[in-house]
Chain A
Amino acid sequence: MAVTTAGGGRGIGGGASAAAGKQHLLEMREGARVISHTPARLNTAPSRAYYFYLMLPAIIVLACITLYPFFWLVWMSLHDVDVGAAADKWNDFANWIRLGRDRKFQDGWWLLLQYSAMCMVLQIGLGVLLAVILNGSRHEKLLVTIFLMPMMMAPVVAGLVWYYLYNSTFGWYHWLMQSAGILGERSILGDPSTAMLGIVIVDTWQWTPLITLIVLAGLKRVPRDQLEANMVDGAGEIRNFFQITLPNIYPFLLIAILLRFMDNFRFIDHILVLTGGGPADSTKILPTYLFDVSFQFFKLGRGAAIALTLLAVTIVLGLILVRVFQSPTAQTRPEDS
């Protein structure tokens, strides 16, 4: 249904087209006689104002708790911020200059990248495998319900439970791995070489199911005729997967990757509980370092500078994500399929 300018449709999105369509019907029923259509008030200026008023409270609240703090953040990054009552002091970009020679800051980015990469590879691999297995399985409903359970858990609680399981004196997983001969006497979280892996495994435990669910939704929308046509051409199941299924679920995979990637930036609950950034800073990814600088040492000015770098990267990722959301292939409303 095309949006016409009938009835003075000054930009009412879905409304204008509906109004135009209705008017169309009326005209058809009345033959050639044009009747006076929709109420004159409908699309005029006052009604737009009404919608803006309705929107205003949310926008004001959101501006107060996000936009205002953002400017504060910029201000803080340029000043010495004292926890006491003293006024903030301009410090000639000292917070920013310091970032350039802050080893922990650079290591933080590098570790964040490593951490995200390890999580991605493990979770995407497992998630896709599980989704393919679940798709069309007899027990799909039951299994999905089971997989949802870890996601409902507070990440802190999940971290604590795993802390217990990993413990080198009474942890069952530690015992299990030692008995299987995988692990020596060392504890998993106490050793710089395995601590990161330990955290990645907890993250994988809790969030792989999310990737499975996203990919599963994608698999349901792979056109069957394409699969069949390819099989007629002599493709086996594995070739079919790579030639037909994978290109079809690509936008879903992208969404899953971006969402998880941003969550790795957003949440550090697991790390705070399991290692607190240690041992020997081997798990001090950037958000954890930011947490330490700001809320352990209360260097809020330096924290603000670090936070801004983190925000900048997140916003770029967010832009990409929104673009993927709005691309036509990712439009997955049920009525479209």
Chain B
Amino acid sequence: MASSDVVRYRSPLRSLVNVLVAIFLVIYVVWTVLPLFVMFVSSFKDLLEAFKLPTVGDWSGITLFFDFTPTVKHYQSLFLDHNFSVYLFNSIVASAGSALISVVLGAMCAYSLSRINFRGKQDLFFWIISTRMAPVVAVMVPLYAIFRGAGLVGTIPGLILAYTTFNLPFAIWMLKGFFDNVPYAIEEAQMCDGATRFRAFLSILPLVAPGVGAFLVLCILFAWNDFLFASIIGSGGAKTLPVATKELVQPQNIQWGSIMAAGVVTTLPMMFLGLLIRRYLVAGLTMGAVKE
């Protein structure tokens, strides 16, 4: 399957290329990990320590980066002074709520779409997927006007509905591909044994459970990481973690330690969830166009 292990001959040129490739890889890995590392380390630094920087051109000054006494006071202040427990709660409820609604409704819809044909199915399908691709800012303009009229701005239900605009089409699209792979014969056999249609549908759920679970997690991830909807639709009463993190940036007196700590609080759960569903991640991020 792999195309790389075609016969290769050893030559000086080849070993030079190998060395260059190795150097490039190391640099790229460092480049990828460094911002995450800096965020993590800086969240444990005292305010003044975070601002320390060697003079320009002083390469040995890099050690200054590690010159600090770790403190967890930023994490404490986040939850004691900045109400982060509330924002954490908002984030969890809004993202989980929207993910649940999307996956339950999406599974029903995707199952039906995968089992029957009708005129205009392709058009319906394109409409569903295009709602997912629409620019968030463009969607938000009318949504804001409507939600303001309905009193939904600044409430968690409003935020859940807003997240559903991109999570529901995603769930339908992805789960349809999943149900397509389950042979109809299984349900048929169930129904021959006297099961109702709904029982037959339930009977194939265990088969798609891993996928449904993975897409549930992905929906949570998309909603959790959202900033635009949360900052406009959720402004006021339903502040989520990304918005709260951004608001720590004040024109004067920027609390970098707290911001980095808030970044860690926002990022770590999603990184953990992402690695948990690693197998489905690429498919999810590419709208199912690519499977690993």
Residues 133-157 of A contacting B (Cβ, < 8 Å) = 133, 135-136, 143, 145-157
| Nearest 3 CB-CB pairings of A with B | A136-B4, A58-B109, A307-B138
The total of interchain contacts (Cβ-Cβ below 8 angstroms) comes to 328
Does B156 have its Cβ within 8 Å of any Cβ on chain A?
no
Which size class do B's interface residues fall under?
Answer: 35 or more
Q: Give A328 to B256 CA distance when docked, in angstroms.
A: 51
Q: Give A76 to B274 CA distance when docked, in angstroms.
A: 39
Does B93 have its Cβ within 8 Å of any Cβ on chain A?
no
Instruction: Evaluate whether A220 and B245 lie within 8 angstroms (CB atoms) in the complex, with A58-B109, A130-B28, A145-B275 already known.
Output: no
Interface pair B271/A152, CB less than 8 Å apart? yes
Main secondary structure of the interface of B (DSSP, over half): helix
Does B12 have its Cβ within 8 Å of any Cβ on chain A?
no
**Count of chain A residues near B, Cβ 8 A:** 123
Does B76 have its Cβ within 8 Å of any Cβ on chain A?
no
Interface pair B142/A152, CB less than 8 Å apart? no
Q: Give A300 to B140 CA distance when docked, in angstroms.
A: 10
Residues 180-231 of B contacting A (Cβ, < 8 Å) = 180-181, 183-185, 188, 191-192, 197, 201, 221, 224-228
Using CB atoms and an 8 Å cutoff, list the residues of chain B in contact with chain A: 1-7, 21, 24-25, 28-29, 31-33, 35-36, 38-39, 42, 50-54, 56-59, 65, 101, 105-106, 108-109, 111-118, 124, 126-131, 133-146, 161-162, 164-165, 168-169, 172, 180-181, 183-185, 188, 191-192, 197, 201, 221, 224-228, 232, 241-243, 245-246, 249, 256, 259-260, 262-263, 266-267, 270-271, 273-275, 278, 281-282, 285-292
Interface pair B29/A146, CB less than 8 Å apart? yes
Does A273 have its Cβ within 8 Å of any Cβ on chain B?
yes
Task: Enumerate chain B residues within 8 angstroms of A205, measured Cβ to Cβ.
Answer: 31-32, 35
Does A15 have its Cβ within 8 Å of any Cβ on chain B?
yes
Can you list 28 A-B contacts with CB-CB less than 8 angstroms, sorted by A residue number? A12-B117, A13-B114, A15-B188, A18-B188, A42-B191, A48-B116, A50-B197, A55-B112, A62-B128, A136-B5, A153-B267, A153-B270, A154-B267, A156-B227, A161-B263, A164-B38, A175-B56, A218-B290, A219-B4, A227-B6, A231-B6, A240-B6, A290-B138, A295-B232, A310-B135, A322-B126, A332-B291, A337-B1
